[in-house]
Structure 1
Amino acid sequence: MKITRLIPTKIVAIFIVMMTISCASKKDIVYFQDALNYETIVNEDVFVTKFKVDDLIGIFVSGKTPEAGRPFNLYRGAQEGGIAAEQVDYLVDLDGMIDFPILGRIKVAGLSPNELRNELREKLTVYIKDPIINIRLKNFEVTINGEVNRPGTYKVNGERINIMEALGLAGDLKIKGRRDNILVMRDFNGVRNYMRIDLTSKNAVNSPAYYLTQNDVVYVEPNKSAINSSNQDSRAGIIVSIASVLITSTVLLITRN
């Protein structure tokens, strides 16, 4: 009878251990855990988007009359049958330059939209009085992979986005996504940087990875609970088989006794 009691006890112990290992604690899943109630922090953020190689920039120049800015805007095709010609965007080449009508080659890599606007305005005042310059980054996208609900590449409307907003686009992290060691991969003019950010701490907002730049890749790795669950799934068939054998043996022992 000792054997009869021992075998079911082992089966129960196996399942208890499996349940315990797969549980995640509060400190693994809560954002900004060290933020105090009613805590106020002065925002000293000075982040601005900078243009990179391979960026696609939309630039439209206008003046007091439509004719004033026309020579400085590139179009594809001609306006026919009421269909307007398509404006051409500027691709930043490997040297960080764009070819601008009349003004020639201009260095834009490393400049913010506002810095480029000021530079163009200074150059254009020779040709246009009080030029109006609209600049927009056309290929601002971020890619989010790993333990998120909707992994993929997302287009950003605007000139900047923080990592919390980006994760929101991806449906937030899954419960088993690791929040304290998120990887951000950033390529700036041929130099690739790898940065880690801990979203369980309020200090995350001071990280250089908090604000994303165009074409950043964010990867959320699985936490220990997810890894353990994966290992358990791969061993599930073996455990079930062993449990079946043990249960069968127990039934036989009880029947014989």
Structure 2
Amino acid sequence: MRKSIILIIFFIVSITLLSSCIALKKLYYLRENKNDTSSVKKIAPIPPIYTLHKGDMLYIKIIGFDESTIPLFNSIGSTVSYGMTEQLSINLNSYTVNDSGNIVMPLFGKIFVDSLSVEQAQEKIRTTIKNFMSSADVIVKLVSFKITFLGEFSKPGNYTIYNKNLNILEAIGLAGDITAFGDKTKLMIIRQTENNKVYYVDLTKRSIIYSDIFYLKPNDILYAEPLKLKRQPVQNSTISTISVFLASMVNLLVLLKYLVK
């Protein structure tokens, strides 16, 4: 009888410890799947080439040797003043792709850039400008690359990104990591396209590095869901945690008592 009681208590304690271990697994990133016996070498995806569409903003700067005329073409930036916010400065120093897929530059007119990469748009703008100024060159950058972080991030909010090849892990780092209450097994990524798409990513699996969703796109929204523990009221969660702890301690004391005898 005594042995049966000891076995029952030992079983209860083991289940409690095992459940704790399972919960801890959700705290780690990129855990290796030991059951994956595939002999195929996995290759990380190539960063996708982003193509422009309506609403994108391009920073365009014309450079050349003629210091007397070049500033006239870059006069768009002369309105920036001290104390201006970063976002307002970007808006005043960029050209927006309109609904027709064009950017409109003073003196140069409309330039169609829809569905072009930033590099292709730069070459097309350069060709247009050289029709007026043969010695001029141009710098073009996408400045509307924004990522929004919602939910269980240490620093949620809207971030302007200057790295065109931003991956999920780099993005999470910008937001200060997912909190201890965030569910790393179910990160939601909302991709804003003509047909909005929703992806769910398990950050605890190393296979995410090799997936097509590893690299983010402008205007992606990342939502970190809370774990079930945090979804409960704080009072109930605290009481539950204390109860489990006390029950485990009682079980251990009883077990030690029988073992000593």
Short-chain TM bin? 0.5 to 0.7
Kindly provide the amino acid, as one letter, of the partner of residue 54 in structure 1.
G
Kindly provide the amino acid, as one letter, of the partner of residue 107 in structure 1.
F
RMSD of the alignment, in Å?
3.7
Q: Alpha-carbon deviations, 1:218-240, whole Å to 9, x = none?
A: 00112xxx31453364646998x
Which of the two has higher C-alpha Rg? 1
Structural mapping, 1:188-199, within 5 Å: 188=193, 190-199=194-203
Q: Alpha-carbon deviations, 1:136-174, whole Å to 9, x = none?
A: 222322111112212111222333321111111111011
Q: State TM-score, norm by structure 2.
A: 0.66
**Structure 1 residue 99: Cα displacement:** 0.8
For 1:119 and 1:191, how far apart are their aligned partners in 2?
Answer: 29
The answer as to whether partners of 2:43 and 2:210 remain within 8 angstroms in 1 is: no
Does 2:210 correspond to 1:212? no
Change (3 A) 1:134 1:184: same
**Structure 1 residue 44: Cα displacement:** 5.0
Alignment partner, residue 64 of structure 1: 65
Q: Secondary structure at the match of 1:95?
A: coil
**Structure 1 residue 31: Cα displacement:** 1.3
Instruction: Out of 204-213 and 55-64, give the one that drifted further.
Output: 204-213
Q: Secondary structure at the match of 2:163?
A: coil
**Structure 1 residue 112: Cα displacement:** 2.1
Alignment partner, residue 142 of structure 1: 147
Q: Alpha-carbon deviations, 1:115-135, whole Å to 9, x = none?
A: 111111222222222432111
**Structure 1 residue 175: Cα displacement:** 2.2
Structural mapping, 1:1-257, within 5 Å: 25-34=23-32, 43-67=44-68, 69-70=70-71, 72-75=73-76, 88-188=93-193, 190-222=194-226, 226-231=227-232, 233=234, 235=236
Q: Secondary structure at the match of 1:124?
A: helix
Q: Secondary structure at the match of 1:31?
A: coil
Kindly provide the amino acid, as one letter, of the partner of residue 213 in structure 2.
A
Kindly provide the amino acid, as one letter, of the partner of residue 197 in structure 1.
V
The number of residues matched between the two structures is 216
The answer as to whether partners of 2:54 and 2:100 remain within 8 angstroms in 1 is: yes
For 1:121 and 1:28, how far apart are their aligned partners in 2?
Answer: 50
Change (3 A) 1:180 1:46: same
Q: State TM-score, norm by structure 1.
A: 0.67
**Structure 1 residue 60: Cα displacement:** 0.8
The answer as to whether partners of 1:113 and 1:135 remain within 8 angstroms in 2 is: yes
Unpaired segments of 5 or more residues in structure 1? 1-12, 80-85, 240-257
The answer as to whether partners of 1:149 and 1:170 remain within 8 angstroms in 2 is: yes
Unpaired segments of 5 or more residues in structure 2? 1-11, 35-40, 81-88, 241-261
